[in-house]
Chains A and B, each alone.
With several copies, the nearest count.
Chain A
Amino acid sequence: MRELVFTIQKNQLIAKHMFNFVLTGDTSDIMKPGQFVNIQVPGFFLRRPFSVCDWRENELTLIYKVVGNGTEALSKMSAGQELSILSGLGNGYELREIKNPFIIGGGAGVPPLYGLAKRLVEKNITPKIILGFNNSDEIFYVNEFKSLGLEVTVTTLDGSYGVKGLVTDVIDNCEYAYVCGPLPMLKAVHKKVSDGQFSFEARMGCGFGVCMGCSVKIKDGYKRICKDGPVLNYSEILWDEI
C-alpha cells in the first residue's frame, strides 16, 4: 500500500451511470486482479473504494457507477485533475490452476473481473464469462471480454439483451467460480457453484485494516474485507450470517 497522486486521463460515460475512469500514475503497488484503490474525492471526508479493473505500467483503469454524492462528484472531474489514491489495497483474486472456471459478475461488480479474465487468459486458462445487468442500458465491457477471446453470456433482468433472467439462471455445472457483484447475487451464486472466490463490499473507514469498520465473521474468526479481503474463499464464508 502507498499513498500516491494519480492524474485523470479519461472519465467517460460508457453505460447508464457507469464511467470508465483511466488514470496515470505509479501502479507498482497493484499485484493482483481484484485488489482495490481508495480515492480521496475532493470535498468528502472518507475515501471511496473502487476495484482495479485493469492496470499496466503507469496506467490504471477503474469503472465506477454513480450511486451517491461522491461518485457524482467524481463523474464531474476531468482530464488533468489530480487525485490522492491509496493504491494496492486488499488481497485480490488468487489465480488458481483450474482449467475452465466461471467468472460471474453483476453490475458494478463486473470491473475487477475484466482484469482477472485477462490475467487468467495470459496463464492459458479459459474462463467462461457470465455477466448480469438490469437491462441493456446498463451493459458495459461485454466486447472487452469478447476481445480476450472468451465466451460471454449476458443476462438482463428485463430481457432487453441476452438471456432474460439472473446470472444464476445460466450457471450450469460450475465447479469453480470467481465472483463479484451485489451481496444478494453472491449469495445466490454460492448455491449454484461448488467452490470459488467471492469479492465483497463493505462501508470502509480506512481501507487498509486499522479501524475494524469492515470486519465480517468467517468460519474461523473474522476477516477485514479491506485487508484480508475483499476476496474471500467459498469455504470460509458464513453464508447465513454475511
Chain B
Amino acid sequence: MIDLTTTLSNLKLDNPIIPASGTFGYGVEMAELYDLNILGSISIKGTTQNARYGNDLPRIAESSSGVINSVGLQNPGIEKVINYELPNLAKIFHKPVIANISGFSVEEYVYCAERVDKISNVGLIEVNVSCPNVHGGGLAFGVDCEKVAEVTKAVKKVTTKPIYIKLSPNVTDIVSIAKSAEQAGADGLSLINTLLAMRIDIKTRKPILANVMGGLSGAAIFPVALRMVYQVHKAVKIPVIGMGGISKAEDVIEMMLAGASAVQIGAANLIDPLICKSIIEKLPELCERLGIKKLSDIIGAA
C-alpha cells in the first residue's frame, strides 16, 4: 500500500489533493458527480465580509492551455458562508475544509478570519492577499512585503487555526514576500494565484472581459507555478500548498518534488469535473511506478 497522506501544519490529509478556491463552489455541484470524501480537503470560494456580486460579464476568456477569469470574488458574504454554505458542505464532506478569505482592507481580513476561526469544520484558513488594496492605492496587498506582513500579523492575532497566506505570482521577487509572511507568523503558504492577463476580441476590437484584465490559470501557468513553489520552498521552513496548472497525477508529483506538501487543483476542475477523483485514483499506481512508497517523502526532493 502506497501512503498518500500528508500534513499541513496540524492538519493531516488522506491525500494531497485539494480543489482550489473558486473552482469548486461549495462542493454541492461536484457532490452530484462523486463522493467528495475521497478528497484531501476542499478550499472554498473566497469569502469577503459582505456579499459581492463581482464584476460584469463577460468574466471568462480562453487562451492556449488556459482560462482567464475576472469573476471578482462573487460570494454571499461571511455570514451566509458560515450559516449556510459551511454547514451544508459539512453534510457531504466529513473532513476539515480550507476557508479561503479575502479583503480590501486589513480590517476586513481580520473580521473574516476571526469569524471562520470559530467554525468547527474549518481546518485551516487561507488568506488570499491578491485583492486590490483599496487603502494602499489599488495594487494587490500580495505584491508588497510589508502589507503581506501586516495582514498576516493582524490575522494571526485573532485566530487559533493554521493561517496560510496565498501569494500572488505577479511580483518581481516571490521569495521575499514569502519570507515576510513567514516572519510575520504565517503557518504556511499557498501559491500561486492567477497571473494577470487579458484577451481582446479582434472583431469588436475591445477587451473580451468586461473588467479588461483577469487572472490566467490552467496548464499554461504550470511551469511558472512550479518555479515559484521551488524557490519559496527552498527559502522558508513552513509548508507550502502548491497550485497552478496542475491537471494530471504526474503534475502532482512534480509539484511535490518542487516542495509542495499538498496541492490544489483549480482550472482543471472546470473542464473535467472528475479530475480530482481521477488523479486520486491514479496516484497509487504512479507512485508505484516511480518507486515512491510514502508520497510525503518526496516533498522538496528536487
Q: Do chains A and B touch in the complex (CB under 8 A)?
A: yes
Give the A-binding residues of B (Cβ under 8 A): 22-25, 29-30, 32-33, 45, 53-54, 57-67, 69, 71, 74, 208, 218-219, 267, 269-274
The verdict on A215 contacting B29 (CB below 8 Å), with A3-B273, A205-B67 known, is: no
A215–B66 touching, CB < 8 Å: no
- The chain A residue with its CB closest to the CB of B57 is A202
Rounded to whole Å, the gap between the CB of A203 and the closest CB of chain B is: 4
B269 and A213 contact, CB distance less than 8 A = no
Which residues of chain A are near B62, meaning CB under 8 Å?
Answer: 44-46
Most buried by A among B45, B271, B272, B274: B271
Which A-chain residue is minimally distant from B248 (CB atoms)? A69
Interface size on A, residues (CB 8 A): 27
- Give the contacting residue for B29; candidates A3, A205, A208, A213; CB below 8 A: A208
Tell me whether chain A's interface is mostly helix, strand or loop, or mixed. Answer: loop
Q: How far is the CA of A212 from the CA of B45 in the complex (A)?
A: 10
CA distance A212 to B58 in the complex (A): 11
Contact B25 A203 (CB under 8 A): no
Proximity bits, A28-48, B CB within 8 Å = 1, else 0? 000000000000100011110
Q: Which A residues, 51 to 98, have Cβ-Cβ distances below 8 Å to chain B?
A: 84, 86
Interface hits, A149-197 → B, CB 8 Å: none
The distance in angstroms between the C-alpha atoms of A45 and B172, with both chains bound, is: 27
Query: Assuming A1-B32, A40-B271, what are 13 further A-B pairs, CB within 8 angstroms?
Result: A1-B273, A3-B33, A45-B218, A202-B57, A203-B59, A205-B67, A206-B269, A206-B271, A209-B29, A210-B29, A211-B22, A212-B59, A212-B74
Q: Nearest A residue to B70 by beta-carbon distance?
A: A213
Residues of B within 8 A of A202 (CB): 57-58
CB neighbours of B59 from chain A (8 A): 203, 205, 212-215
A204 at interface, CB cutoff 8 A: yes
Instruction: Report if A217 contacts B (CB, 8 A).
Output: yes
Rounded to whole angstroms, the CA-CA distance of A86 and B269 in the bound complex is 13
| CB atoms of B54 and A206 under 8 A apart | no
Q: Which of B61, B63, B65, B71 contacts A211 (CB 8 A)?
A: B71
Q: Does A216 interact with chain B (Cβ within 8 Å)?
A: yes
Q: How far is the CA of A208 from the CA of B6 in the complex (A)?
A: 30
Tell whether A215 pairs with B54 under 8 Å between CB atoms, given A46-B60, A209-B29. Answer: yes
Once the chains bind, are A210 and B54 in contact (CB under 8 Å)?
no
Residues in chain A near residue B271, CB distance under 8 A: 40, 45-47, 206
Residues of chain A contacted by B30 (CB below 8 angstroms)? 210
With a CB–CB cut-off of 8 A, which chain A residues contact B25? 209-212
Task: Report the bound CA distance from A45 to B64 in whole Å.
Answer: 7
A239 within 8 A of B: no
Closest 8 A/B residue pairs (Cβ):
A210-B25, A213-B60, A206-B270, A203-B60, A203-B58, A212-B74, A209-B29, A46-B62
Q: How many angstroms from the CA of A97 to the CA of B30 in the assembled complex?
A: 33
A212 touching B57 by the CB < 8 A rule? no
Question: In the complex, which residues of chain B have a beta carbon less than 8 angstroms from the beta carbon of A208?
Answer: 29, 273
Question: Chain A 206-232 against B: per-residue CB contact (8 Å), 1 yes, 0 no?
Answer: 101111111111000010000100000
Who on chain B is nearest to A43 by CB? B64
A213→B91 CA distance, assembly (Å): 26
Cross-chain contact of B60 among A84, A204, A216, A222 (Cβ < 8 A) = A204
